[in-house]
Amino acid sequence: SVDERDLYEILGNLVEKGCKYGHSRVRVGALAVGDEVRLRIEDDGPGVPEAARGDVLARGARADTAKAGQGIGLAVVTELVAAYGGTLEIGSSELGGAAVSVELPTASGIRSAGAQSESVSVSRDASTPEASKRATKRMGLQQTAQSSK
């Protein structure tokens, strides 16, 4: 099952990217469909060029070198999602920026209260881990396994 810290790492990295590149809005959503949970994180920033979408998932790769970063966050997310048998896709958001969709099997230990979406305003001072935990709680995502702290 998905370790609680891994779920927060996935959401935290994706919410952080949305806050970093979004102008004023980040939307985090979750939907339980059959035997999987679908997460979608969207922002209203410049988006990821279609030609670079596969490349930015590799360690050290970055589409935008104007902002600080190491090019590790999306690679970590990709590795964690793959480790649990899930998928990750980068697309375009109706907000105007990037949309990152993650699908994880519910057998991985995540369950959702149903289709929910949470809009989160970008705050440059907000703690990303705390924002991820609040969004996770508001969307009704729960861990079925204990954290291995």
Chain segment 72-120, per-residue pLDDT in tens: 678 899 999 999 999 999 999 999 999 999 998 876 555 555 555 445 5
How confident is the model over 121-135, as a mean pLDDT? Answer: 56
Give me the sign of the Cα torsion angle 68, 71, 75, 80. negative
Distance CA 107, CA 123 (A): 34
Distance CA 69, CA 71 (A): 6
CB 135 within 8 A of CB 11: yes
Distance CA 33, CA 38 (A): 7
Top pLDDT among 32 and 51 is at 51
